[in-house]
Amino acid sequence: MAIAMTTSVSATKKKGTIFGVHLVVALFFLGMMLPTSVSVSAGGLRLSVYRVVLLLAFIPMLVMLVGGRRGKMHVFDGLMFAHAIWALFALIAWGGVRQGIESGGIYIIEFAGSYLLGRLFIRSYEDFAAMARAYVIIVVGTLLFTIPEALTGKHILYDTLAGATGGPPAPFIEPRMGLARTFGPFDHPILYGVFCAAAFSMAYFVVAERQLTNFKGMGLVTGVGVATFLSASGGPYVVLMMQGFVAVWQRVLGDIQGRWQMLFGLFAIIYLSIDLFSNRTPFHVFVTYFTFSTVSAYNRILIFEYGMAEVWRHPFIGIGLGDWVRPVWMSDSMDNFWLLIAVRYGIPAWLFLVALMGGLIWAVAKRKNFPPEWKRARYAWAFTLFGITVAAATVHLWNALFVLFIFLIGSGAWMYDTPIPKAGQAAKPSTTGFTPVARLF
């Protein structure tokens, strides 16, 4: 706890921060905690609060990136731009230059802007820990509203915030397990659940520092679990379970060499076993057992089959925001984030995104001699992304959850390019003070 307390004190002293979290990042999180209806329209575009934050910060962030103020540009920045530009081309091919640039422009703001926000303003362990603590506290804080919401069915946060701007109330969704499915401030219980579940590794590794006797920290870990449970959604439960599984694996095997290779080998054995001994594909089995109803599972299987057919019909540039071929009785909702990326923007865009996330995790994992707190940050970051990645095969990440996911990818880049402090040497101070970006604004 001594390290965490020292970190907290040093972080809160930085200019332009709120409890150690950079002001721009704090405003970004605030924007994510507001319903989509809390937005304005400008030229046909819906500008939610987090979009406005990203839009205002975008050019200054580009200047900082090119100028090397937050570390030199590297291959992962290139992959980020490659994905964003390819998506822009796909949208132009779909809707023409004007429509494509309009739709592609806001996609670039969300995708590239969210990545750059994490990449440029989370530049040290202190920055990462402050962000993690704030994130966890926000999740646990929502319980003040979502516990009554689950018990009464009254969507307190969503209806209050949306109603204040003339927005519609939360739509009715069938209860599960005798509880109303909680929205929190989000547009759907799945979004609220994934937002909460993604904070689990942050709570366990950074806030509680993996210490089961840290009762305050473990209380927050439990709070994250309760908040996730109240969403009553299979996708968030998968995010939580995947993080919990790899956390237990790491705790049991400790620093044994090859433990992650063993884990991947275990996954491969499970996959091959299902493929050999089941009359269904591993994907069919996964979807069936990780969704709440057979109807939902069957729908996701059909989405995958028809979606993949669309990918192979348009492998290079995708279909943009166009409609995809499916039976007339199927909804146009594609509950598979990874599939939707390939359908909309083509296989190259999908590969750029996978290479960005997977390559960055691999590069960070290969670095040696991390201090103990850096190792915990690495676990928290990688396990969070792992959990969301698996669940994203059965849910779509849209609006606030999309930008959160991309922000989290960028928030680990400091572990790739920040010099590792030697034993007994303090880490190089973070350079995320508010003054430089203030000059750009």
Per-residue pLDDT of the chain (441 residues; tens, 9 = 90+): 333 433 333 434 466 777 678 899 999 999 999 988 888 877 777 889 999 999 999 999 999 999 988 889 999 999 999 999 999 999 999 999 999 999 999 999 999 999 999 999 999 999 999 999 999 999 999 999 999 999 999 999 999 988 877 778 888 888 888 899 999 999 899 999 999 999 999 999 999 988 888 889 999 999 999 999 999 988 899 899 999 999 998 888 877 888 888 888 888 888 788 777 777 777 777 777 666 666 677 888 899 999 999 999 999 999 999 999 999 999 888 999 999 999 999 999 999 999 999 999 999 999 999 999 999 999 999 999 999 998 898 888 989 999 999 999 999 999 999 998 876 555 554 444 333 333 333
Helix, strand, coil share (%) of the chain residues, nearest 5: 65, 5, 30
Six-digit token string for 1: 């706890």
What are phi and psi for residue 370, nearest 5 degrees? -70, 140
Classify residue 264: in a domain, yes or no: no
| Amino acid present at 203 | A
CA distances (Å), 334 to each of 65, 71, 435, in order?
A: 34, 38, 43
What pLDDT is stored for residue 14 in this prediction? Answer: 61
pLDDT of residue 97: 93
Residue 46 sits at φ, ψ, to 5 deg, of -90, 120
Interatomic CA distance for residues 201 and 225, integer angstroms: 11
Asked if residue 360 lies in contact with residue 416, where contact means CB atoms within 8 angstroms, the answer is yes
CB atoms within 10 A of CB 220: 22
User: What pLDDT shows up at residue 427?
Assistant: 53
Residue 26 vs residues 108, 167, 276, 375, 408: alpha-carbon distances, Å: 21, 24, 49, 25, 14
Choose among 33, 57, 36: nearest CA to 115. Answer: 57
Give how far Cα 173 sits from Cα of 146, 181, 218, 337, 382, Å.
15, 7, 32, 22, 33
Structurally, the chain folds into a number of domains equal to: 1
| Domain ranges, residue 223 | 2-259+295-440
267 part of a folded domain:
no
Predicted local distance difference test score (pLDDT) of residue 13: 47
Instruction: Identify whether 279 is part of a domain.
Output: no
Assigned domain for 157 exists: yes
Going by the DSSP 8-state scheme, the letter that residue 206 receives in this structure is I
CA separation (Å) from 392 to 9, 46, 108, 235, 389?
Answer: 36, 24, 20, 8, 5
Predicted pLDDT at 437 = 34
Please report whether residue 271 resides in a domain: no
The dihedrals phi and psi of 78, each to the nearest 5 degrees, come to -65, -40
Q: Return the pLDDT at 276.
A: 79
Residue 272 counted as domain residue: no
**Please, how many CA atoms are within 13 Å of residue 214, restricted to the half-sphere of its CB?**
18
Strand pairing report for 39-42 and 21-22: unpaired
| Neighbouring-strand partners of residue 41 | 46
Residue 272: φ, ψ to 5°: -65, -35
What confidence score (pLDDT) does residue 429 get? 46
For the question of whether the overall pTM of this predicted structure is more than 0.85, the answer is: yes
Calculate the CA 131 to chain-centre distance.
14
Residue 90 lies in a domain: yes
For the chain, give the number of residues.
441
Query: Is 392 a domain residue?
Result: yes
Short-list 261, 262, 241, CA closest to 365? 261
